[in-house]
Amino acid sequence: MQAPKKSVRKRIMWFMLAFCAIFVVLVGRVAWLQTVDGAKLKKAAVQQQTRDSIITSKRGTIYDRNKKELAVSASVEMVTVSPNEIKKADGCELVATKLAEILSLSYEDVYKKVTKNSAYEIIKRKVESEQTDQIRALKANSETKKAFAGVGLEEDTKRYYPYGNFASHVLGFTGTDNQGLYGIEKAYDDELSGIAGRVISVKNAVGVDMPYKYEQKYDSQDGMSIVLTLDETIQHFAEKHLAQAYEENKPDQGAFAIVMSPKTGEVLAMASKPDFDLNEPFELNIQEIVDSINELPQQERSAARNTALQKLWKNKAVTDTYEPGSVFKILTYAMALEEGVVRTDETFNCTGVTVVGGQPIHCWKTVGHGVETLEEGLQNSCNPVLMELGRRLGVSTFCKYFRSFGMDSRTGFDIVGESSGVFFKESAMHEVELATCSFGQSFQVTPLQLCAAVSAIVNGGNLMRPHIVKQFLDTDGNVVKNIEPEFVRKIVSEQTSQIMRGYIESVVTKGTGKGAKIDGYRIGGKTGTSEKQPRGNRKYVASFIGVAPADDPELICIVAIDEPTGDLYQGSQIAAPVVRNILEDTLRYMGYEKTLTGEDLAIMQSNVPEIRGFELSEAKKQLAAGGFAIKVVGDGETAVQQLPKPGATLAKGSTVIIYTTEDEIAQISVPDVSGMGASAARQTILDAGLNIEIIGAAAESENSPASKQDPPPGTKVNPASTVRVEFIYMDGD
């Protein structure tokens, strides 16, 4: 047999070499796909052949301290589509039309998703059962069943806030994916949100169900619930009275209130105005702001709207800093007493101005207070007394206590976004800075820092960390974790604390805080009015901090009104009455009985007895026993009518009218007593045939005009009806 020619052998060799090379390349490529790209390709195959749907976990409930639900999650559903499956059934137009109609969406937007080259699209989240039931009916209907086979309904949850704007700045809100975006919802998002579940089902390459069914479900784990220290009733009191003050004073920068337990640091109420509806947090609810944004060029509106929302969401009690003004004088007094640089029996002479470092610094009362004791210096909120105390303390000691009171650092409060104080470096603080700082100017703190510091002064000297979360609960309601009160450090002695409790009580009974006095309760407190920088712009923060009961405080309340636009701007005038109203409602709610002595007993209120049908002599006897004045109308011998009606509450000495005939009773027009002093207002009301209930500081000073009355002037009322008149104490800062 003849051997192949050399050229043939050569061709065979090259062919074999080429074959081997191709084989090596193929083997290498297979190895590459199996090793380097293996995981990625496997993942892509799984994604192509399966659909992975998320089961949203149910977010934990947020309760107040008495287990009232403040934020809850309810089961809803998410509407999804498989566009490839709908296109295969030739149902795009029908599905888009029906879903847009049921879900109140744009047909164009739905149609775009339904016709997309995709296996899975979300049409709408958080859909209520009323809408999903209609979709289920279309999926079951023989005429639409085929087209709607590619429409899915998946488990979802929706966050509800039963009380709308209640505690909005504390609770915060969630986003589209139920993630916490603000407040408690954000601070404790990990605890509240739980762990999402999954449903994995088999699809073919175009996203259509396979002939056989396969589905694997991994259940979600619901989040923990949170119990707050907040008391829904006390929060209601704070919001009600703060809202009234906000409406009356129309502050450009809003207002805030905090109610706290000085012994534990538990926040019982925290409110800011204006507020917002937690169920619609992205809706601006102030028409003036909406109108101003709409007047802007189109390209500027989105940024302006976002800025307005951020401002609306701001929790002023935690995030804002401000010059505390005279409220801070409580701290300077406590420093001086604790350091022993002043005696309680010392006297001071206020001429209205003190020269420090060559600069004249005035008292708020420019004519001066004259000779006054240490206690009277605080009652009068006298700047020269404070400057002298600051001088005796010195820069180093003052700064030491400033830090010890926690005024230069965050308190560690639960809600994110807390600010820290703004203060001088000790090396940059000289005699003028020390003088102004001693009475609460030239630096800034947060309301929460100030509340914690004053709490330490009145509770025996213990700085407690403010907190608003009390407990964590599992899904069965069992307590997982208790948050105990946290002691930070000792600042002043019990002796200093006792003296200061007496001093701040005298501020309310005898000094600038008379507007916070509550008959029958022992209240302590301090006014504050700070002018914002630059000085002379007449933009003020009016504030008051109050404690009750003053001898053993269980409550501390701070209220500030930021840039009031009315005629009144001082803390004694517009902030002290708000604290008074909050504390009075709260003390009554907590079961504190009023203790009335001396002058208080003379104006104590009593219920009007039933005297209709009584002989006239017996009717008079019954009314006299209740301490009421008596007026008889008619010449009969039996009481047939009476005003006010039985059960009405009147101050002792008020008039009850006995009618001995059935004649028609003519109504009386309520007179206008605004601006009058107590005596003139009382006489005007009585002359009109009405009774008066005095609220506020009317009896404390001749310079206490009537500011509000209820019913308003001109209202027609029955004879002997009570007109509530509130008086404002004008002498103060």
Catalytic residues: 326
> 358: which residues sit within 8 A by CB, 6+ positions away?
none
CA distance 724 to 369: 34
> 712: which residues sit within 8 A by CB, 6+ positions away?
670
CA distance 166 to 160: 12
| 10 strand-pairing partners | none
Q: How many CA atoms lie within 13 A of 336 on its CB side?
A: 25
Q: Degrees (nearest 5) of the Cα angle 491, 495, 499?
A: 105
Total residues found in the chain within this entry: 733
Asked whether 581 and 516 are in contact (CB, 8 A), the reply is no
Q: Dihedral of CA 511/517/522/523: which sign?
A: negative
CA distance 562 to 531: 10
CA distance 200 to 217: 6
Asked whether 718 and 664 are in contact (CB, 8 A), the reply is no
CA-nearest of 208, 334, 243 to 582 is 243
CA distance 91 to 109: 16
CA distance 29 to 438: 80
Characterize 543-566 residue by residue with b for buried, 16 or more Cβ atoms within 10 angstroms of its Cβ, and e for exposed. Answer: bbbbbbbbeebbbbbbbbbbbbee
CA distance 529 to 430: 24
| Residue 691 burial by Cβ neighbours in a 10 Å radius (0-12, 13-18, 19+) | buried
Asked whether 191 and 221 are in contact (CB, 8 A), the reply is no
CA-nearest of 345, 438, 429, 344 to 388 is 438
Strand, helix or coil for residue 218: strand
What do you get for the CA distance between the two ends of the chain, in Å?
127
Find the helix or strand (DSSP H, E) in which 473 lies.
Answer: strand 469-473
Q: Two tokens at 380?
A: 């009068």
> 48: which residues sit within 8 A by CB, 6+ positions away?
203, 205
| Residue 318 burial by Cβ neighbours in a 10 Å radius (0-12, 13-18, 19+) | buried
Q: In 159-217, where does DSSP find H-type helix?
A: 168-171, 183-187, 189-193
CA distance 355 to 362: 9
